[in-house]
Amino acid sequence: MTAAWARAIRRGIVPIVLGILSWIVSYPAIEDLDPLLKWLGVILVVLGLVIIVASARRYTADEQRVPVVDQTRRGI
C-alpha cells in the first residue's frame, strides 16, 4: 500500500465507521427510525468509499507531478 492510499484511508475511515454504527443502532431502533438509520448508514459508507478513492487518486497524482521551477529565481 502506498503512502497516498494510506493517507486516503485515514480521511475516509470516519464516515465508514459512522455508517457502520448507524447500521448497528438501527437494529434495536423503533420501526420509524429503522429505515432512516439504515439509509443513513448506506449513504455514509458510500461517501467514505468515494472519499477514499478520490483522495487516493489525487494524492497519487500529486506524488507523480513534476515540480515547476520558477525561471525568475534562477537569475536567467
24 domain residue, yes or no: yes
Which pLDDT tens digit goes with each residue over 19-53?
A: 999 999 888 888 888 888 899 999 999 999 999 99
17 domain residue, yes or no: yes
Q: What is the largest CA-CA distance in the chain?
A: 73
- Total structural domains in the chain? 1
Q: Tell me the pTM.
A: 0.78
Which pLDDT tens digit goes with each residue over 8-22?
A: 999 999 999 999 999
36 domain residue, yes or no: yes
76 domain residue, yes or no: no
Nearest to 4 by CA among 50, 66, 58: 58
75 domain residue, yes or no: no
Domain residue limits at 19 = 3-62
34 domain residue, yes or no: yes
